[in-house]
Amino acid sequence: MTDASVHPLDQALRLAPLGEHRFRGETTAPWANMVGPFGGVTAAVLLRAAMDHPERLGDPLALTVNYAGPVAAGAFEIEARPARTNRGTQHWSLAQHQGGQLATTGTAVFAVRRDTWSASELTMPEVPPAAQVAIAAPRQGLEWPNRYEMRFVEGDWPDLEAGDELPDSRTAMWIRDLPERPLDAPALAAICDAFYPRVFRRRRRFTPIGTVSITTLIHAGAATLAAQGTRPVLACARGVSFAQGFFEQRAEVWGDAGTLLASSIQVVYYRD
Amino acid sequence: MTDASVHPLDQALRLAPLGEHRFRGETTAPWANMVGPFGGVTAAVLLRAAMDHPERLGDPLALTVNYAGPVAAGAFEIEARPARTNRGTQHWSLAQHQGGQLATTGTAVFAVRRDTWSASELTMPEVPPAAQVAIAAPRQGLEWPNRYEMRFVEGDWPDLEAGDELPDSRTAMWIRDLPERPLDAPALAAICDAFYPRVFRRRRRFTPIGTVSITTLIHAGAATLAAQGTRPVLACARGVSFAQGFFEQRAEVWGDAGTLLASSIQVVYYRD
């Protein structure tokens, strides 16, 4: 069921409460990946369940999502259980089941933010503003990338026929939801996974891959995210270590004012 | 109970199986932190529970530990439940309870590693070999740092009376267990947390802090870790963003042959 008046991301994040910390959701065709749904949207819908929970405290601070098994097109169930609530932090246990089988596990931490001394030791890369960077052409044969407007500063989708190895796997892109949608924590969590697999760029050839686990730290509270509005954010990723069938990808997402909105690391399975 | 013939780390990681995915453990005095046990050892004992589990498949690949509440001196119970076992990966749900209350949540992924194409985009910092770096003096008034031999190349324990701010919070140190102990995944997971709080260095003053969540990716299988033996590893950390009461710390641990053994990110609460 697609409701044209609802944004595709909000459609994918729609949850019906079932009580007892359980929620019913459904995959949507616009977010299809090669197999199953885009992992970023799976992360976002787990986070959404905790955000929708009546016992929720504060805003998302940390999210770990482990992709334990495939998710098929159709209905699924999410369990978002507040495992412990403190004065300023709240710890969540997350799981996604489909057809009675566990597909995804996870944890989240929510926090009440307060104004404090602040500093950053990482600076946003110097890149041209989004308006000066061309919008990438739509992807053929893959749905989810077309839910984003992507403007590549560095590391566009690689030519997988080239076959010769590149010395790095860096990508920097201005990105926003398509159609435009005000940024919030689930959208940001999804963007942290919106990079094509780093091993594709390093090797410039296709190889079967699958994200195993992603952890995202959200550095901005709801007000900072709301202030970003619908303007593109700068999303940067790189591969770190590729060894024995698993590689690490690190990513940062920056607001256009130069604020680090999120950091993310993931480990991805690759074949040969 | 301390058994002098057992290494302090192995003493802290001793678990008695209780059946039904549960294990009984106990805090030990040598690993005491300012409040409760050193978080690195809590991470290690959760990982150990999964490694000790009779259904275990493969070696640790990813570990997330969320410090939900305080752990007091004494007995605790760990639940390590294999949530889903695939052909080459295994997903674990982890929890630590004490006195009937949830103290820690977590997840882990184990994997069967295979020889594949490999590469690295991160290079070990150029530092003098461990033998050329002085061993740091023991810490007064804090137990757990004295379970390590630390040789600081950069970013030694800061003078918390200085009070003036430093421009960065980088630390690089050669580190190993004290007494010497062959490296394994739990020891490595603990070392990923063996940095004093980055906010102490940035601000050169004491402020109450507490790690909220740590995620460690282990890039080396058991054979690579065993080959490191008891020689020091190079552990590097930096603060990334300090904002609204929470900061991010990233760390890498390198084998002395220049192999990335582990990457870690954590988010830490700080006051004012």
Residues B49 and B94 sit within 8 Å (Cβ to Cβ)? yes
Residues B60 and B47 sit within 8 Å (Cβ to Cβ)? yes
Residues A132, A135, A140: CA angle, nearest 5 degrees: 165
Residues B64 and B106 sit within 8 Å (Cβ to Cβ)? yes
- Model pLDDT, residue A163: 76
For residue range A182-241, list pLDDT tens digits in order. 999 999 999 999 999 999 999 998 899 999 999 999 999 999 999 999 999 999 999 999
- Model pLDDT, residue B2: 59
Partners of A109 in the beta sheet? A62, A91
> Residue A173: CB partners within 8 Å, gap ≥ 6?
A136, A150, A151, A152, A153, A154, A155, A234, A235, A236
Chain B residues lying within 8 Å of A246, measured CB to CB:
61, 111, 113, 219
B64 touches A: beta carbon within 8 Å: yes
Among the partner residues B83, B101, B272, nearest to A102 by beta-carbon distance: B83
> Residue A70: CB partners within 8 Å, gap ≥ 6?
A35, A36, A103
Among the partner residues A241, A244, A263, nearest to B122 by beta-carbon distance: A241
For residue range B35-70, list pLDDT tens digits in order. 899 999 999 999 999 999 999 999 999 999 999 999
- Predicted-complex ipTM score: 0.97
Chain B residues lying within 8 Å of A66, measured CB to CB:
62, 91, 107, 109
- Model pLDDT, residue A236: 98
Residues A241 and B122 sit within 8 Å (Cβ to Cβ)? yes
Chain A's closest residue to B89, CA to CA, is A68
Among the partner residues B220, B244, B271, nearest to A115 by beta-carbon distance: B244
Chain B residues lying within 8 Å of A267, measured CB to CB:
61-62, 109, 217
B105 touches A: beta carbon within 8 Å: yes
For residue range A210-219, list pLDDT tens digits in order. 999 999 999 9
Output the average pLDDT for chain B.
Answer: 96
Residues B31 and B147 sit within 8 Å (Cβ to Cβ)? yes
Q: Is B118–A203 a contact, with Cβ atoms under 8 angstroms apart? A: no
Partners of B24 in the beta sheet? B16, B77
- The fraction of chain B above a pLDDT of 70, given in percent, is 99
Q: What is the DSSP letter of B169?
A: -
CA distances from A192 to A64, A111, A215, A266, B257 (A): 12, 20, 9, 9, 32
User: Out of 3.40.50.920, 2.40.160.210, 3.30.230.10, 3.30.470.20, which CATH number does the structure's domain A8-111+132-270 have?
Assistant: 2.40.160.210
Give the mutation candidate from B165, B241, B266 for the A interface (greatest A CB count, under 10 A): B241
Chain B's closest residue to A252, CA to CA, is B240
Please report the residues numbered 148 through 167 in chain A whose beta carbons come closer than 8 angstroms to any beta carbon of chain B: 165
Q: Where are the alpha helices (DSSP H) in chain B?
A: 8-12, 39-52, 185-191, 198-203, 222-228
CATH of domain B8-112+128-270: 2.40.160.210
Average pLDDT on B191-202 reads 94
Domain chopping of chain A, boundaries: 8-111+132-270
Q: Is B260–A241 a contact, with Cβ atoms under 8 angstroms apart? A: yes
B222 touches A: beta carbon within 8 Å: no
A20 touches B: beta carbon within 8 Å: no
**What is the distance of C-alpha B139 from the center of its chain?**
19
- Model pLDDT, residue A35: 87
What count of CB pairs under 8 Å joins A to B?
Answer: 203
Please report the residues numbered 125 through 144 in chain B whose beta carbons come closer than 8 angstroms to any beta carbon of chain A: none
For residue range B178-192, list pLDDT tens digits in order. 999 999 999 999 999
Query: Could you tell me the pLDDT band of residue A2, with boundaries at 50, 70 and 90?
Result: low
- Please tell me the distance from the alpha carbon of residue A255 to that of residue B192, in angstroms, as a whole number: 29
Residues A201 and A247 sit within 8 Å (Cβ to Cβ)? no
CA distances from B21 to A84, B54, B65 (A): 21, 9, 18
Query: Could you tell me the pLDDT band of residue B9, with boundaries at 50, 70 and 90?
Result: very high
Among the partner residues B93, B115, B122, nearest to A240 by beta-carbon distance: B122
- Model pLDDT, residue A126: 97
Helix, strand, coil shares, percent, chain B, to 5? 20, 40, 40
For residue range A85-138, list pLDDT tens digits in order. 999 999 999 999 999 999 999 999 999 999 999 999 999 999 999 999 999 999
Chain A residues lying within 8 Å of B46, measured CB to CB:
none
Q: Is the pLDDT of residue A257 over 80?
A: yes
A270 touches B: beta carbon within 8 Å: yes
Q: Is B83–A91 a contact, with Cβ atoms under 8 angstroms apart? A: no
A102 touches B: beta carbon within 8 Å: yes
Q: Is A213–B269 a contact, with Cβ atoms under 8 angstroms apart? A: no
Q: Is B105–A91 a contact, with Cβ atoms under 8 angstroms apart? A: yes
A272 touches B: beta carbon within 8 Å: yes
Q: Distance from B100 to chain A by nearest Cα, in Å?
A: 12
Give the mutation candidate from B65, B195, B238, B240 for the A interface (greatest A CB count, under 10 A): B240
- Please tell me the distance from the alpha carbon of residue A140 to that of residue A145, in angstroms, as a whole number: 9
Average pLDDT on A19-43 reads 96
Query: Could you tell me the pLDDT band of residue A159, with boundaries at 50, 70 and 90?
Result: confident
CA-nearest of B179, B182, B158, B177 to B168 is B158
For residue range B156-179, list pLDDT tens digits in order. 988 888 878 999 999 999 999 999
Q: Which residues of A10-37 are buried (b: 16+ CB within 10 A; e: fewer)?
A: bbbbbbeeeeebbbebebbebbbbeebb
- Please report where in the chains the tokens 């299988």 appear, as a residue: B221
Among the partner residues A68, A88, A117, nearest to B84 by beta-carbon distance: A68
B84 touches A: beta carbon within 8 Å: yes
For residue range B90-147, list pLDDT tens digits in order. 999 999 999 999 999 999 999 999 999 999 999 999 999 999 999 999 988 899 999 9
Q: How many CB atoms lie within 10 A of CB A131?
A: 9
Chain B residues lying within 8 Å of A121, measured CB to CB:
168-169, 238-241
A215 touches B: beta carbon within 8 Å: yes
Please report the residues numbered 180 through 199 in chain A whose beta carbons come closer than 8 angstroms to any beta carbon of chain B: none
B3 touches A: beta carbon within 8 Å: no
Structure tokens at A153: 């500063």
Average pLDDT on A170-189 reads 98
The residue type found at A244 is Q
Output the average pLDDT for chain A.
Answer: 96
- Model pLDDT, residue B143: 96
- Model pLDDT, residue A150: 98
Q: Is A105–B93 a contact, with Cβ atoms under 8 angstroms apart? A: yes
Average pLDDT on B222-226 reads 96
A91 touches B: beta carbon within 8 Å: yes
CA distances from B230 to A246, B31, B60 (A): 26, 20, 20
